[in-house]
């Protein structure tokens, strides 16, 4: 039997669409996808990526700790297999991959990641060199003593619980942390549309900061920074930011710490020496440094290249000129000992250190992005003071709930003791009633004025215990419980008493777990390594097709260059190897590099495209060479332009950076160097119109943009050339109606008639001649 599946499918689809049309609850697809993506984003933020301010934990971390607490894996307990912990947390609370849960537990145990580890791992839990932990079937784990500061109050009514994923168990919304763990151990997470990055801090610093905040609620971020100082990484290191930078970072809740390793110079025999790094920046391993040095000294040829790039060759030469060898001498007695031997004892120590810091991760950056889920459950960018303030508010609430729980326990015990006290003088009568009646509760309640709880307590006592009740013992316990009740009520009623209680607890925690800072904060200039180069004079020539020709000295005549077929000289510069070459492409991207990175006495001609990583169909026509403070203007074919300086366009990115926002069909026609004083900027159109404007009338856009309109062009017209007016005026290449080429020169005096304003069309240079190009004297 053969079925026509196509017709059947069409009928089904038709039926479905008709059903949707009749369904009044149907919503547009765009609205549905928007809501679905929003739900997904919120789920990632709350359920996976961003930690809570209250306990500083992500859900998987919180579930692991709670599960281990439920398994009674305290610091004094015998550790169990990690697989058992992972299995328990997956089955009860975290229905995700077992490896991700295990990785989270491993991370909480690593001393080189966590400033204060929460899991005590037994076995191979990885190394700072990037070695992974052993499989979970081999390792064992239990909680650390520090982790108990997060969970020891969880059974005292301090936090809310909610059902797990299938409703068979309950789990806490947050842990009653006795310290702001979000700062102590830091956090890292990427959500949808936002991320968090918090470095670890020192417990003593944080405790002192909170204690000062309790005393002085008006303290500023700057005041707190005098106490907390800054991050404190597990592996030490040195933060070199100035204090003003640190204040801005903690006030905004966002910024970058510049961190470098710590080293010492060890003297050897016969005047020799070696450089030893004993601390590395956070997240940097010895293995990574060794690989970076190897990449510099033994570079590999990049894809689609026949040989090493000029940059690779230069870096290799720089490093091998001063470095003899590097080796890892780290062992169980010394976590980090990375030794660099100079080529000889005459190598300048400062130059040696600066080279290593500049070329490797021995100096790197650590970000801070203080985004946390606040007490209202919403993600928020916070300052240091906001974090401590909100955590202190959470802690006050927790202490109050804990005190109320203890108060209820005391009152319940006191209530039962009072019941026992009432019957103590009539024990024989109580025993008689119990023997006489099958259900003596009502009789006891009526005769001794007891309630159900008190009667139940008395009936649950054995006769032997009941006969042994002593009046004095019960009276003493009642007095003791009443004193405790009074003190607990005082705490609940008075906010100041709660604050004093938190102070006492913080001081005890600081005494038990506080330690010295490992990371020093000492401002240091971020010295960029510059090769010991002597200034060399260069003549740089650029061809129409984008080839760069480099010759030493200034006496070389550019006319002697033999260009490739169809190519010709476009512009040349007399400069030095200390200047920058800046290029704006036809796509409006800007590329830059220092000439000493480009110039090689062995290779004196190279296509500029081979020095960078251009986009598809990107061409290079607009070149400029100068020092950092060189001012210049950019003019496009559609008559737009702007003014900037070389230092504002510099970028070490070989892919360049976006600078000009060009309209369709527009492209830059030249980069015009400008002097500090006002100059005449001449703009020539293809139709022969010339407009001369003041260079200062061109708007300065330091970060680039679309530019402003410099010349009003007729339909079909475009800018052909631009430049500044020199002392000798301007020279124009022209063509007669008969095709005869000629040049005309207009002196500065004659050019006065072409002075106009920005945005004007200008005047025709000559009504009888076709103006082909203008020589503005750009070559220098």
Q: Which residues are catalytic?
A: 138
Q: Which residue carries 């002392």 as its tokens?
A: 727
Q: Are 639 and 554 in contact (CB under 8 A)?
A: no
Alpha carbons 238 and 233: distance in angstroms, whole number: 9
CB 169, CB 163: distance < 8 Å: yes
Q: Is the dihedral of CA 233, 237, 241, 242 positive or negative?
A: positive
d(CA 210, CA 372): 18
In 10 A of CB 671, how many CB atoms? 26
> Which residue is listed with tokens 């002097």?
675
Q: Token digits for 229?
A: 């100082």
Tell me 253's DSSP state.
Answer: T
Pairing of strands 730-735, 668-674: unpaired
Cβ–Cβ under 8 Å, residues 765 and 729: no
* DSSP per-residue string spanning 383-402: -HHHHHHHHHHHHHHHHHHH
* Both structure tokens of 361: 């991760």
CA distance 406 to 400: 10
Q: Can you give the length of the chain in residues?
A: 780
DSSP 320-381: HHHEEEEEE--BTTBS--EEEEESSTTS-HHHHHHHHHHHSTTEEEEEEE-EEE-TTS-EEE
Block residue for tokens 């129409």: 544
Six-digit token string for 541: 């020539």
**The 262-267 sheet, strands edge to edge:** 262-267, 273-279, 338-342, 323-328
Q: Are 299 and 316 in contact (CB under 8 A)?
A: yes
| DSSP-assigned beta bridge partners for residue 605 | 549
Give the integer Cα–Cα distance in Å for 546 and 139. Answer: 61
């Amino acid at each position: 039997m053969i079925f026509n599946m196509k017709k059947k499918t069409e009928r089904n689809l038709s039926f479905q669409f008709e059903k949707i049309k009749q369904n009044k609850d149907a919503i547009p697809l765009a609205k549905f996808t928007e809501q679905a993506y929003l739900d997904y984003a919120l789920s990632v933020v709350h359920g996976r990526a961003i930690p809570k301010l209250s306990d500083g934990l992500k859900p998987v971390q919180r579930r692991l700790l709670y599960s281990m607490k439920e398994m009674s894996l305290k610091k004094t307990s015998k550790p169990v297999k990690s697989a058992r912990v992972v299995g328990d947390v997956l089955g009860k609370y975290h229905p995700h991959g077992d490896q991700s849960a295990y990785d989270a537990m491993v991370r909480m145990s690593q001393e080189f990641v966590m400033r204060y580890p929460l899991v005590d791992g037994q076995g191979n839990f990885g190394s700072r060199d990037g070695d992974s932990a052993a499989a979970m079937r081999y390792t064992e784990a239990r909680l650390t003593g520090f982790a108990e500061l997060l969970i020891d109050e969880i059974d005292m009514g301090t936090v809310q619980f909610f059902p797990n994923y299938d409703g068979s168990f309950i789990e806490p919304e947050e842990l009653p942390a006795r310290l702001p763990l979000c700062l102590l151990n830091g956090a890292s997470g990427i959500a949808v549309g936002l991320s968090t990055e918090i470095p670890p801090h020192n417990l003593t610093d944080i405790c002192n900061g909170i204690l000062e905040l309790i005393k002085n609620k008006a303290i500023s971020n700057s005041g707190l920074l005098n106490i907390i100082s800054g991050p404190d990484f597990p592996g030490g290191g040195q933060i070199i930011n100035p204090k003003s930078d640190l204040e801005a970072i903690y006030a905004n809740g966002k910024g970058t710490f510049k961190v470098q390793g710590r080293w010492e110079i060890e003297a050897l025999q016969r005047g020799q020496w070696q450089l030893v790094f004993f601390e590395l920046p956070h997240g940097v391993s010895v293995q990574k440094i060794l690989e970076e040095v190897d990449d510099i000294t033994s570079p590999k040829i990049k894809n689609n290249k026949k040989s090493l790039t000029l940059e690779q060759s230069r870096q290799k030469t720089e490093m091998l000129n001063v470095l003899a060898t590097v080796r890892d001498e780290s062992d169980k007695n010394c976590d980090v000992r990375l030794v660099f031997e100079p080529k000889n004892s005459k190598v300048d120590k400062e130059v040696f250190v600066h080279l290593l810091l500049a070329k490797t991760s021995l100096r790197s950056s650590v970000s801070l992005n203080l985004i946390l889920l606040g007490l209202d459950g919403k993600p928020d960018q916070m300052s240091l003071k906001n974090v401590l303030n909100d955590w202190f508010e959470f802690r006050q609430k927790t202490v109050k709930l804990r005190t109320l729980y203890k108060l209820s326990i005391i009152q319940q015990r006191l209530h039962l003791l009072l019941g026992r006290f009432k019957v103590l003088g009539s024990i024989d009568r109580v025993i008689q009633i119990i023997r006489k009646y099958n259900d003596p509760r009502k009789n006891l309640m009526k005769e001794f004025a007891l309630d159900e709880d008190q009667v139940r307590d008395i009936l649950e006592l054995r006769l032997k215990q009941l006969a042994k009740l002593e009046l004095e013992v019960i009276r003493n316990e009642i007095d003791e419980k009443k004193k405790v009740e009074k003190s607990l009520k005082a705490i609940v009623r008075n906010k100041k008493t709660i604050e004093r209680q938190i102070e006492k607890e913080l001081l005890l925690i600081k005494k038990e777990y506080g330690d010295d800072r490992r990371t020093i904060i000492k401002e240091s200039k971020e010295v960029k390594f510059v090769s010991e180069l002597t200034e060399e004079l260069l003549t740089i020539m650029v061809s129409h097709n984008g080839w760069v020709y480099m010759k030493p000295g200034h006496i070389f005549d550019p006319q002697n260059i033999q260009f490739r077929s169809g190519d010709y000289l476009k512009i040349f510069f007399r400069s030095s190897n200390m200047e920058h070459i800046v290029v704006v492409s036809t796509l409006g991207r800007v590329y830059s590099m220092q000439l000493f990175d480009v110039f090689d006495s062995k290779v004196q001609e190279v296509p500029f495209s081979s020095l960078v990583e251009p986009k598809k169909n990107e061409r290079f026509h607009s070149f400029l060479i100068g020092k950092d403070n060189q001012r210049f203007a950019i003019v496009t074919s559609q008559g737009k332009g702007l003014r900037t300086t070389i230092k504002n366009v510099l970028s070490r990115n070989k892919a360049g950076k976006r600078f000009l926002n060009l309209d369709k069909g527009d492209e830059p026609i030249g980069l015009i160097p400008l002097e500090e004083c006002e100059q005449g900027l001449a703009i020539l159109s293809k139709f022969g119109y010339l407009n001369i404007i003041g260079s200062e009338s061109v708007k300065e856009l330091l970060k680039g943009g679309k530019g402003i309109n410099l010349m009003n062009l007729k339909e079909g017209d475009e800018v052909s050339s631009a430049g500044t007016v020199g002392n000798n005026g301007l020279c124009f290449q022209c063509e007669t109606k008969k095709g005869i080429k000629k040049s005309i020169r207009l002196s500065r005096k004659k050019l006065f008639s072409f002075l106009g304003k920005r945005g004007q069309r200008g005047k025709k240079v000559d009504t009888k001649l076709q103006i082909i190009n203008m020589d503005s004297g750009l070559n220098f």
